[in-house]
């Protein structure tokens, strides 16, 4: 009877071990694939998704073009704005209408790259969204800048030197989000998968050995395990005591 009770306890313990292992692995995957909530530099910043935004006003006599505007944002620990989705563009327009008292137009952090004849973001994010006022032809002018109308959200091309702004729209990306690499996540998932394929077979072998252990003892009787049998054995043991 003691051996049966010991066997049942080992089986319950094995189940708990396997459950704990699965929970740990799920937690690790969620930690790797999850995105942390950004901590904005100050209450004047507005959070959307994994980034923070602010409009910083400058005196009209020191109006900024693209390079000084970017340096101004960098002084705040951020960069000049990049817009990567329709939702982000709409969020900025609504925030201008409800919260920010800004100019009618602001410079976006875009520049023309002559190496591959394309517009790119200064913060090195991929160009995944465009919202032109009208279809734009390819512009080979290295002095090309892009502006956004803060009321309509539509974009247009302008000459960088001829446009100066009295307010700069900056975007802050927390370091943990900025350095998050998709490739790193893939590597982490591969490592987790490798751990699972190595650990689970070992657990199965251990469980099987424990299951067969009573049958190798002289005079041992192997009984099928069930929750009811475990309760009966426990009650009999208590009565015997």
**Confidence band of 58 (pLDDT split at 50, 70, 90):** confident
Q: Are residues 162 and 206 in the same domain?
A: no
- Total domains in the fold of the chain: 2
Q: Are residues 149 and 96 in the same domain?
A: yes
Task: Report pLDDT for 21.
Answer: 52
Q: Which of 93, 101, 94, 88 is nearest to 148 (CA)?
A: 93
Q: Are residues 115 and 223 in the same domain?
A: no
Residue 97 lies in a domain: yes
Show which of 163, 179, 195 is a domain's final residue: 179
Q: What's the whole-number mean pLDDT along residues 6-18?
A: 53
Is the pLDDT reported for residue 35 higher than 70?
Answer: no
Q: What's the whole-number mean pLDDT along residues 52-78?
A: 87
Task: Report pLDDT for 45.
Answer: 95
> Is 84 in contact with 129 (CB distance < 8 Å)?
yes
User: Percent of the chain scored above 90 by pLDDT?
Assistant: 32
pLDDT: which is higher, 239 or 203? 203
pLDDT: which is higher, 219 or 162? 162
Q: Are residues 66 and 147 in the same domain?
A: yes
Q: What's the whole-number mean pLDDT along residues 91-112?
A: 92
> Is 58 in contact with 65 (CB distance < 8 Å)?
no
Show which of 158, 179, 200 is a domain's final residue: 179
Question: Rounded mean pLDDT of the chain?
Answer: 75
Q: Are residues 27 and 51 in the same domain?
A: no
Q: Are residues 108 and 169 in the same domain?
A: yes
Backbone angles phi, psi at 181, to 5 degrees: -115, 130
Is the pLDDT reported for residue 228 higher than 50?
Answer: yes
Instruction: Give per-residue burial for 183-193: e unless 16+ CB within 10 Å, then b.
Output: eeeeeeeeebe
Tell me the CATH number at 95: 3.10.100.10
Q: Are residues 136 and 210 in the same domain?
A: no
Is the pLDDT reported for residue 230 higher than 50?
Answer: no
**Confidence band of 39 (pLDDT split at 50, 70, 90):** confident
pLDDT: which is higher, 139 or 61? 61
Q: Are residues 21 and 61 in the same domain?
A: no
The encoded tokens of residue 230 equal 């475990």
Collapsing DSSP states into helix, strand and coil, what is residue 23?
helix
Q: What's the whole-number mean pLDDT along residues 227-238?
A: 51
Q: Are residues 52 and 171 in the same domain?
A: yes
How many Cβ atoms sit within 10 Å of the Cβ of residue 49?
Answer: 15
Sort 61 into a burial class: Cβ within 10 Å, 0-12 / 13-18 / 19+: exposed
Residue 40 lies in a domain: no
**Candidate from 55-69, 123-137, 167-181 with smallest mean pLDDT:** 167-181
pLDDT: which is higher, 101 or 31? 101
Note down the domain range covering 221: 2-34+183-240
Residue 41 lies in a domain: no
Residue 39 lies in a domain: no
> Is 172 in contact with 76 (CB distance < 8 Å)?
yes
Q: Are residues 207 and 126 in the same domain?
A: no
**Confidence band of 169 (pLDDT split at 50, 70, 90):** very high
Q: Are residues 105 and 170 in the same domain?
A: yes
Q: Are residues 50 and 30 in the same domain?
A: no
pTM beyond cutoff 0.75: no
């Amino acid at each position: 009877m003691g051996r049966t009770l010991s066997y049942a306890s080992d089986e319950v313990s094995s189940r708990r071990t396997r459950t704990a292992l699965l929970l740990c692995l799920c937690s690790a995957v969620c930690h790797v694939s999850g995105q942390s909530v950004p901590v904005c530099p100050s209450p004047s910043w507005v959070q959307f998704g994994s980034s923070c935004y602010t409009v910083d006003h400058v005196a009209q006599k020191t109006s900024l073009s693209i390079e000084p505007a970017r340096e101004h944002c960098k002084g705040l620990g951020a960069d000049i704005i990049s817009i990567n989705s329709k939702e982000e563009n709409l969020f900025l327009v609504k925030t201008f209408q409800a919260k920010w008292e800004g100019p009618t137009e602001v410079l976006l952090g875009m520049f023309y790259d002559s190496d591959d004849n394309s517009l790119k973001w200064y913060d090195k994010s991929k160009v995944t969204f465009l919202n032109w006022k009208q279809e734009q032809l390819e512009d080979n002018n290295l002095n090309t800048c892009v502006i956004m109308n803060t009321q309509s959200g539509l974009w247009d091309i302008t000459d960088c030197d001829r446009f100066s702004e009295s307010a700069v729209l900056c975007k802050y990306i927390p370091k943990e989000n900025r350095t998050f690499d998709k490739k790193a996540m893939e590597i982490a998932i591969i490592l987790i998968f490798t751990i699972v394929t190595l650990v689970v077979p070992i657990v199965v072998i251990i469980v099987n050995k424990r299951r067969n252990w009573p049958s190798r003892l002289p005079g041992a009787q192997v009984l099928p395990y069930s929750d009811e049998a475990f309760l009966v054995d426990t009650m009999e043991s208590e009565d015997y005591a």
